[in-house]
Amino acid sequence: AQSVTQPDIHITVSEGASLELRCNYSYGATPYLFWYVQSPGQGLQLLLKYFSGDTLVQGIKGFEAEFKRSQSSFNLRKPSVHWSDAAEYFCAVGASGGSYIPTFGRGTSLIVHP
Amino acid sequence: SQTIHQWPATLVQPVGSPLSLECTVEGTSNPNLYWYRQAAGRGLQLLFYSVGIGQISSEVPQNLSASRPQDRQFILSSKKLLLSDSGFYLCAWSIRDRVYNEQFFGPGTRLTVL
């Protein structure tokens, strides 16, 4: 069965600092990977996705993620964090094999200090 | 373009009262539809998903039920609410025939059971 681990429940950074949110997955084949962001009281918005090809994926809002098969990781990065990036971030691995159910990590809460 | 609507946005209900939350999708046909719940400070819990009209799969046994009376309409119901039903309810959809299941989320409904 597939699984997703986001080892950090909370991450605190200063505005302007770089950011890396960790995501590790367990999957039997080539995974389809996603990062979503959720601002307080809102739904989830897709930041970026990886299906195949270039392992460095660019997303919206200046985010990028790198797929590393050898480490089973798909970490999210941003070179300079803005206060508006404070939110909950979810990593997910897509469904396959006839299933329609993706698997989400538990989420990482990003706190940005001025 | 596709949009997803949920209503109401917020709801306060007494214990033992009925519940009906509605989700509709525009701009696509034959979507997969999903209901998730987020308890305070916790991740996403999949409640129900549907691959077609009248086809509902339940992921968690509880006092909630779901129905899909039309292709792009998904309803979450309860006959008698419990305190533990409080939370943030998210509806999502994905394209049915894609191998990978990128999801698109609605704005959510905040339910408080008193």
Q: What is the mean pLDDT of residues A73-81?
A: 97
A19-23, A94-98, B16-20, B89-93: the lowest-pLDDT one: A94-98
Tokens (6 digits) for A85: 């990036």
Calpha distance A61→A110 (Å, rounded): 15
Calculate Rg over the CA atoms of chain A.
Answer: 14
Tokens (6 digits) for A79: 């070179």
In chain B, which residues have pLDDT < 50?
A: none
Interface test with B, best of A101, A109, A111 (most B CBs within 10 A): A101
Question: Chain A: residue nearest B99 by CA?
Answer: A96
Number of helices (H), then strands (E), in chain B: 0, 11
Q: Which amino acid is at A91?
A: C
Calpha distance B76→B80 (Å, rounded): 13
Per-residue confidence at A95, pLDDT binned at 50, 70, 90?
A: low
Q: How many CB pairs below 8 A link A and B?
A: 57
For residue A98, pLDDT beyond 70: no
pLDDT of amino acid B48: 95
Which own/partner pairs from A61-69 qualify as long-range (CB within 8 Å, at least 24 positions apart)?
A: A61/A37, A61/A85, A63/A35, A65/A23, A65/A33, A65/A35, A67/A33
For residue A90, pLDDT beyond 90: yes
If you ran DSSP here, which 8-state letter would residue B43 be given? Answer: -
Per-residue confidence at A53, pLDDT binned at 50, 70, 90?
A: confident
Contact at CB, A100 and B44, closer than 8 angstroms: no
Contact at CB, A100 and B101, closer than 8 angstroms: yes
**Structure confidence by residue, pLDDT tens digits, A57-71:** 999 999 999 999 999
Which chain B residues touch A106 with a CB distance below 8 Å? 42-43
Calpha distance B72→B24 (Å, rounded): 6
